[in-house]
A = this chain, B = another copy of it.
Amino acid sequence: MAITFYCGSGSPFAWKVWLALEHKKLAYDLKVLSFDAGDVKKPEFLVINPRGKVPALVDDGVSLYESSAILEYLEEKYPEPSILPGGAAARALARRIAAESDTYLVAALRTLFVQTLGKRNGDGDPDAIAAAKKLVAAELAVFEVYAEREFLAGNAISVADFAAYPQIALLKRVAEKQPANAAPIPARLTAWSQRIEALPYFGRTVPPHWKTA
């Protein structure tokens, strides 16, 4: 087994890499680290990623981290099935949307997640949640335009979908756990998220603790 993949349950950046590994039909040894148990800060993991963050991946003895760099690595080393479209302009679009997800979508959602999923008793600050929902709505409107396409960057799945989907999945989880605090997901993005969830390998990537709680 060449690849060891380190994830943490519910980490959207780890989920991004997980979807790519499955899409590429790669064999990997899965290590689910526990944030509560401090696994990511243990010396044996800091050897792999000194920043103590997931995802990380070891392939043939080489340690890799930072999800966007891992995806590019997987695409170069294991090109088929691809996670980038053909042609420089189309590839730039897919990478741009992935970067927009990692930057703007993540930033827009951060406070809402802290104040909802991060407050297991549901005692988030109502004013902060109201303000966060406005930010989320504005950013989702941008992605709603991308979701006019079958996949965010065109008619094939790509790094753009793998980057954005886990963020939207976390937002769906807010709706499930704390419906009053949910930010509505527009129609085309909802339909796109269902296309991701219908992928044959999708079920293997669902965060382990979501299956039980």
Task: Give me the interface of A with B, judged by CB distance under 8 Å.
Answer: 50-51, 62, 64-66, 68-70, 72-73, 76-77, 88-89, 91-92, 95-96, 98-100, 103-104, 142
Contacts and interface: CB of A to CB of B under 8 A. Distances in A.
A96 to B, nearest CB: 4
Interface centre among A50, A99, A100 (most CB of B within 10 A): A99
24 contacts: A50-B142, A51-B100, A51-B104, A51-B142, A64-B89, A65-B96, A66-B95, A66-B96, A66-B99, A66-B100, A66-B103, A68-B68, A68-B99, A69-B95, A69-B96, A69-B98, A70-B92, A72-B91, A72-B95, A73-B89, A73-B95, A76-B88, A76-B91, A77-B88
A89 B70 CA distance: 10
**How many copies of this protein are present in the complex?**
2
A142 B89 CA distance: 34
Contacts of A100: 51, 66
Nearest to A65: B96
A72 B104 CA distance: 20
A65 B89 CA distance: 11
A64 B96 contact: yes
B62 A89 contact: yes
Nearest to A90: B62
A77 B104 CA distance: 27
List the 6 closest pairs (A to B, CB-CB), nearest first: A69-B95, A73-B92, A66-B99, A69-B96, A66-B96, A77-B88
